[in-house]
Structure 1
Amino acid sequence: MTRADGVVIIGAGIGGLCAAAQLAGAGVPVTVVERMATPGGKLRTVDVDGVAVDAGPTVFTARWVFDALFESLGERLDDHVTLVASERLARHAWQDGSRLDLWTDPTRSRDAIGEFAGAAEARGHDGFRAEAARIWTALEHRYMEAPVTTPVGLALRFGLGGIGEMLAINPFETLWSALGKHFKDPRLRQLYGRYATYCGASPYQATATLMLIAHLEARGVWLVEGGMHKVADAIAALAAARGAQFRYGADVREIRVTGGRASGVVLADGEHLPARDVLANCDASAIADGRFGTAAAGAVKGTAPRDRSLSALVTMMTADATGFDLDRHNVFFSNDYAREFDDIFKHGRLPAAPSVYLCAQDRGLGPPPDGPERFQIIVNAPATGDGHPPGPGEIEACQTATFAALDRCGLTLRPRSMVPVGPAMFEALFPSTGGALYGRASHGWRASFRRPGSRSGLSGLWLAGGSAHPGAGVPMAALSGRLASAAILSARASTRTFLPMATAGGISTPKATTAASA
């Protein structure tokens, strides 16, 4: 039973789960309504011939965000999820036979780059590391852990004495251009340019500010025993233990609006769940497109198709692998990186010569199994799932090109069973996105400021998830949920006391310096 003074959360993705735990821990009645059968949203698994394979995000970083969530509720993350720190960030390969591993130990990465491309490139790595760290430090507390703001508002957070630090985040240069100042070797520009794809952007159009993602990853990557979905399971259990109710297999038809305020939701079967606040943990475009009724549609602006982030052609499989010493995270680069992103963003088609990310889900925590292994393979794709998605022939051609690229890098895969998922299926799973997996593409310095914040234009309707501030990715979605829950609690406190709050929805997490610095 929902309560009229409670919160209904639409969607059990990572943002909604974090908000549910925080709100329930504060004594607020919470009901989470999720149309899928399990929590996690994009943190999900797919059955491949009787074996569960992670089908969403595979890289766990910024564990301090999740440590802070559990600690705020009197728990320890390590008591609920088994995390193993990985020394190796990823293994990278090119079709000329060259390979490069990056490590959490920056000295080890520097030495590897020096051996791979020479002393000058190792020095370039030093400069890149320093700039990425400066950008992260400048934005961590002022932007990512703080409520959404405008460019002027961000400048005010830096203050007069911090304008130089603000400009040093390099928002007006593209990532690809900035990388050219640090690396002459095109392979290293490819490698570090790939970090733009972590939030669904092209390195040729994304702001250089995104080099902070490389710094985030260099601070640590953890392997989750049992798969990434275990993180979602643990946060759902944390929320449930504090009283949150979960309704799985329940589809929301409408956000009910009464007296100019969100007042609950109506399910597909007509059931009305009243609430004082509604938190939508979905892509903001779904609201703007009227998928939750016309009354709430004007509360947010959707993302135009031209501004969407990357989608993907993701293939979950069991296969036998030979010829290449795989790690958990592996990247195989194309020979024409610029063409890859032209195909996607300019022509709206699958790349003819793709770069390939391969997650070997049975590697990293021990010796590989005898026989077939579980793999997730990702190729970047255009977000055309609601328009002209790739057809079966185009998907087959892309998969053929993918296996050929892997073979040229020395890896031979012999699939036993495969489950491909493309933009059309992602659109079905996450409506009004076209299959975009990261909300709005981070192209240009204004893009980050165009993401909606926790507060929508409709009183009582709040937002969380990868399309909202501070952005895409598991840790950012978690922060969005914490920001939204803090904003809801702040608004309720203001209503009770009739006193202005010092901050509207800010959060506090342990400083990331508790993790290994890069």
Structure 2
Amino acid sequence: MTIAQIFPAAGVSPLTEDRRPHAVVIGAGVGGLTAGALLGARGYRVTVFDPLDAPGGRAYAHRQDGFTFDAGPTIITAPWLFEQVWAECGFSLADDVDIRPNDPFYKVRFDDGTWFSYSGDAAAMEAEIARISPEDVAGYRSFMEESRRIYEVAFLQFAETPFHSLRVTAEALAKLVRLGGYRSVHDVVAKHFRHPKLRTLFSFHPLLIGGNPFTATSFYCLIAHLESKHGVHFVMGGTNALVQGLARLVERGGGRVRLGETVETILTSGRQATGVRLLGGETVAADLVVSNCDPATTYGKLLRHHPRRRWTDAKIGRADYSMGLFLWYFGTDRRYDDVGHHTMLFGPRYRSLLDDIFRRKTLAEDFSLYLHRPSASDPSVAPPGCDAFYVLSPVPNLAGGQDWTDLAESYRARIAAHLEETLLPDLGRHVVTSRIATPVDFRDRLLSWQGAGFSFEPKLFQSAWFRAHNKSEELDNLYLCGAGTHPGAGLPGVVCSARIVANLVPAAADLAGAPASARSPGPGGAR
């Protein structure tokens, strides 16, 4: 099955045989599709393989009973990155995808019932802060200034810089250390704010990319400035509509997205990746391979047969992985028009809850939640008069040993009861469709190591050079993109990782003189 069969689009021409160098991309997530589209624009013939029945990976969409539920990412903070991708492929993002701003960015509810409206308006933010702690208004100003300084180095200078050499890394780290990168996000926030609610409010952002605010490097304080400068956006039709657009870009460039196809092994000869073998036995030759898989899966499974120097099984086992995610997707037969697009519901504990999740890996009785109501802005994702929701709870990854077969329904019921008590009255009587996802789904369906929601935890010594490199150390023509690679998780990070890959690969013209056998499909063909 191909993307054109699922999401037909005018302007996508039937594929014809060509002799361009062949790039195989493993995984049709945002990173893989972005890399595939850019490589196609740079002269490669591209084939993307994905085991799911539709593209997206973590950004898949569940469609049931007339509702559309984005499976994962819901927040767009850097739409210009996608505009650049479309432009490089010769198209306009606006012709394919409708991205609109959220205002406010989030509504935040603290456990005592206090609300905070989080936006990009500095005056409005200062007024909100003054309601809670007037003496912290000055701290907000100094924090946002520090966030700007970090953004201008960590994001503008290094988000698309490959960290493959120790020299580049040393130069970069010298700058980042001067910015206090050895501190945690919470350490920086606590320097500026005195009130515990505000310390929670301005330090929670690393959780959106799999990090513990108490251990995530302070580089991620840049998110506050990124949001205030460029806004928080959503995609009409859901984030997966952006995925569909990326998949069409691949095909417009003469590439192909093959769905329902699982890559079992990356084939190698010496230090070269020569292609891939699919679960059904088909082999597909390639001039280069790009993996959008979790790096632990890439090295621990797809290259399990290949001698590895850095990414050994021992190193993969020692790494720290992000928390797991419990998600409940549900639709109601009524609307809750007083609930916004994005709502954060903080529980009674902060640091000790995060210790339970990240360090002790125990499933606590309490929780903090993110509630997504896209039908607040886009009625098309639900039937008339209805609402579409998902609620996300950070939980331990599978290293915690929880049996989600037994726990899933009771945990969902606890979350439902809390939402009914705090935000969604009579919820139990109005749910008309429902599904859940646990860390087991991330492991089995998305091939995520330990069922982690965001691959490696974004700590200082798992960032930049210490993270999985975008150009593999193990094979000369293997490249990696996605959440587990530099610069990290989240849609901006994943897109930047794909751009790094596109900038690192050899020019297609340089490979055009390679033997035909190196570029032609293996048994069964790639087309």
Cα drift, residue 459 of structure 1: 1.6
| 1:130 aligned to which of 139, 145, 157 | 145
Q: Is the 8 A contact 1:299 1:458 kept in 2?
A: no
For residues 127 and 444 of structure 1, the distance between their equivalents in structure 2, rounded to whole angstroms, comes to 23
- Find 1:307's aligned residue among 320, 331, 334: 320
Q: In 2, distance between residues paired with 1:78 and 1:153?
A: 36
Pick the aligned partner of 1:357 from 365, 370, 386.
370
1:282 corresponding residue in structure 2? 293
Taking the TM superposition and a 5 Å limit, the aligned residue runs for 1:388-403 are 388-403=401-416
* Contact 1:318 1:418 (8 Å CA) reproduced: yes
Q: Which residue in 1 is equivalent to 2:211?
A: 201
Residue of structure 2 equivalent to 1:22:
38
User: Residue 119 of structure 2 contacts residue 125 of structure 2 at CA under 8 Å; is this kept in 1?
Assistant: yes
Partner of 2:479: 462
Deviation at 1:426, TM superposition (A): 0.8
1:37 alignment partner in structure 2: 53
Task: Label 1:432 to 1:400 Cα distance change in 2 as closer, same or farther (>3 A).
Answer: closer
For residue 406 of structure 1, give the secondary structure of its aligned residue in structure 2: helix
Give, in whole Å, the separation in 2 of the partners of 1:383 and 1:3. Answer: 44
User: Is 1:296–1:458's contact at 8 Å kept on the other side of the alignment?
Assistant: no
* Segment of structure 1 superposing worse, 375-384 or 120-129: 120-129
Instruction: Quote the Cα distance in structure 1 between the aligned partners of 2:462 and 2:404.
Output: 34
2:266 and 2:302 in contact (8 A); partners too: no
SS in structure 2 of the partner of residue 46 of structure 1: strand
Aligned runs of 1:401-480 on 2, under 5 Å? 401-412=414-425, 413-414=427-428, 415-445=431-461, 447-456=463-472, 457-480=474-497
- Runs of 5+ unmatched residues, structure 2: 1-16, 515-527
Cα distance in 1, alignment partners of residues 439 and 318 from structure 2: 13
CA drift of 1:316 comes to 0.6
> Which of 373, 380, 385 is 2:394 aligned to?
380
**Match of residue 328, structure 1, among 341, 347, 358:** 341
Q: Is the 8 A contact 1:324 1:410 kept in 2?
A: no
Q: Distance in 2 between matches of 1:291 and 1:118?
A: 53
- Aligned residue number for residue 240 of structure 2: 229
**1:71-122 superposed Cα distances (whole Å, 9 cap, x missing partner):** 12222111110111222110000121210111122222222222x3133222
Query: Does the 8 A contact of 1:465 with 1:477 survive in 2?
Result: yes
Partner of 2:157: 142
Query: Which amino acid in the other structure matches residue 325 of structure 1?
Result: D
Instruction: State the distance in 1 between where 2:305 and 2:31 align.
Output: 24
Q: Against the structure 1 CA distance between its residues 432 and 408, is the aligned structure 2 distance closer, same or farther, given a 3 Å change threshold? A: closer
Partner of 2:157, secondary structure, is helix
Amino acid at match of 2:27: G
Q: CA deviation digits over 1:195-245, x for unaligned, max 9?
A: 111221111222222111222222211121100001111011112111011
Q: Which moved more, 1:353-362 or 1:1-10?
A: 1-10
* Secondary structure class of the residue paired with 1:36: coil
Cα-to-partner distance string for 1:357-379 (whole Å, 9 max, x where unaligned): 00002012479976431101100
Q: Name 2:267's counterpart in structure 1.
A: 256
Gaps of 5+ in 1: 498-518
The CA deviation at 1:493 is 4.5
Q: Aligned partners of 1:173 and 1:62: how far apart in 2? A: 25
How far 1:304 sits from its partner (Å)? 3.0
Q: Is the 8 A contact 1:207 1:444 kept in 2?
A: yes
Counterpart for residue 61 of structure 1: 77
Report the residue type matching 1:351 in the other structure. A
Residue 391 of structure 1 and its aligned partner are, at CA, apart by: 2.8
What do residues 123-169 of structure 1 show as CA deviations (whole Å, max 9, x unaligned)?
Answer: 211111111111010122331111125675244258xxxx5x53343
For 1:430 and 1:173, locate their aligned partners in 2 and report how far apart those are by CA, in whole Å: 32
**Aligned with residue 272 of structure 1, among 258, 278, 283:** 283
Please give the alpha-carbon distance, in whole angstroms, between the structure 1 residues aligned to 2:462 and 2:166: 8
Question: Does the aligned pair in 1 maintain the 2:341–2:376 contact within 8 Å?
Answer: yes
Match of 1:84 among 79, 84, 100: 100
| Cα distance change, pair 422–183 in 1 and its aligned pair in 2 (3 A) | same
Native 8 Å contact 1:362 1:369 kept in 2: no
2:113 aligned residue: 97
Q: Which deviates the most, 51-60 or 352-361?
A: 51-60
- Please give the per-residue CA displacement for 1:53-75, whole angstroms capped at 9, x wherever unaligned: 11111111111111111112222
1:490–1:382 distance in 2 versus 1, CA, 3 Å: farther
- Counterparts of 1:370 and 1:36, CA distance in 2: 29
**What is the CA-CA distance between 1:353 and the residue it aligns to?**
0.8
Please tell me whether the aligned partners of residues 4 and 274 of structure 1 are also in contact (alpha carbons under 8 angstroms): no
Kept in 2, the 8 Å contact 1:155–1:166? The answer is: no
Task: Please point out which of 217, 224, 227 is paired with 1:217.
Answer: 227
SS in 2 for 1:181: helix
For residues 479-498 of structure 1, the aligned pairs below 5 Å read: 479-489=496-506, 493=510
| The 10-residue stretch of structure 1 (484-493 or 274-283) with the greater mean CA deviation from structure 2 | 484-493
Is the 8 Å Cα contact of residues 334 and 355 (structure 1) preserved in structure 2? yes
The answer to whether the Cα contact below 8 Å between 2:20 and 2:508 also exists between their aligned partners in 1 is: no
Contact 1:340 1:352 in 2 (8 A): no
TM-score (norm 2): 0.86
Question: Following the alignment from structure 2 to structure 1, what is the Cα–Cα distance between the partners of residues 299 and 370?
Answer: 33
Give distance in 2, aligned partners of 1:4 and 1:300: 31
Counterpart-to-counterpart distance in 1, 2:475 and 2:265 = 14
Please give the per-residue CA displacement for 1:341-400, whole angstroms capped at 9, x wherever unaligned: 122122223232100000002012479976431101100011107x72343443344334
1:173 and 2:175 aligned: no
Please state how far the C-alpha of 1:296 moved relative to its aligned partner.
Answer: 6.9
Checking the alignment, whether the CA contact within 8 Å between 1:136 and 1:212 is kept in structure 2 is: yes
Q: Which amino acid aligns with 1:232?
A: V
Query: 1:470·1:477 contact (CA, 8 Å) conserved in 2?
Result: yes
Contact 2:482 2:494 in 1 (8 A): yes
* Secondary structure in structure 2 of the residue aligned to 1:341: helix
Q: Distance in 2 between matches of 1:2 and 1:194?
A: 49
Q: Is the 8 A contact 2:456 2:462 kept in 1?
A: no
State the distance in 2 between where 1:315 and 1:454 align. Answer: 33
